[in-house]
Amino acid sequence: MVPVRRERRGWALTICVWLLRPLLMALTKQSFRGLQHLPTGGFVMAGNHISHSDPLLFAHFVNDAGYAPHFLAKVSVLNVPLVGRFIRSTGQIAVDRGCNDAARACRDAVVAVRRGASVIVYPEGTITRDPHLWPMTGRTGAARVALETGCPVIPVAQWGAHQLLPPYARRPRLFPRATNVVQAGPPVDLADLHGRPITVDVLRTATDRIMRAIAEQLGQIRGEPPPAELFDARTAGMPLTGNPNRPRRPGDQRQ
């Protein structure tokens, strides 16, 4: 079935779709669920992160649902000559993670939602460190965008990308052909938080609800209940960036 196109694709994104969609169809089998929960107008899609390959597979889901995928991307990547310009042309959104002002760091995402775009956020900020690949505790960017704009947050769980490319692996596993399941759930209930001052406690409450909703969607896909408490890399003493399995040298900092 050809999806109803709810967002127009620009020339750069159209080129990416032409090039990548046939490749993804050849490498993986797709199962897309919960499309009825995706609204029109601006909203946030918050998803789990299990593989370096899953942004492409997530984008496949979003595109086939009729939306243009707009990921949050580090501003340093978007400033790379030529490559960064092309990425910007696909509609990806700059986030300045080095900015001390969290509201300013998410400014472009807020603008995009207000003009009616669907914005994709990985609240974990990195591939999950949970040993069983459940979602971890999240960062507050998705919650901030939602509370500043009043837009819905749709929890999206994905499962199968790690079979194509295991976390931090360099070579894909082409056989057997992986089945990639992406499932969207109903909007996260943040009604009681809208209109309140956006404090640290409010952001943490909203973020915890978002991550729990993602975990519940993933539990439905996997056919098992998610953990009662989500994994926290900080309390586990794990690095928040890079490959956590890489041997640490003396003097390395755990962030």
Cis ω on the peptide bond leading into residue 176 (within 30° of 0)? yes
Q: Is the dihedral of CA 81, 82, 85, 91 positive or negative?
A: negative
Q: Which domains does the chain have, with CATH numbers?
A: 30-167+176-222 (3.40.1130.10)
Give the rounded distance of the alpha carbon of 84 from its chain centre: 20
Per-residue pLDDT 10s for the chain (255 aa) are: 445 667 888 999 999 999 999 999 999 999 999 999 999 999 999 999 999 999 999 999 999 999 999 998 878 888 888 888 899 899 999 887 667 666 777 888 999 999 999 999 999 999 999 999 999 999 999 999 999 999 999 999 999 999 999 999 999 999 999 999 999 999 999 999 999 999 999 999 999 999 999 999 999 999 999 999 999 999 999 887 778 877 665 544 443
pTM for this entry: 0.91
DSSP lists the bridge partners of residue 155 as 46
Query: Which residues, listed in sequence order, are joined to residue 167 by a DSSP beta bridge?
Result: none
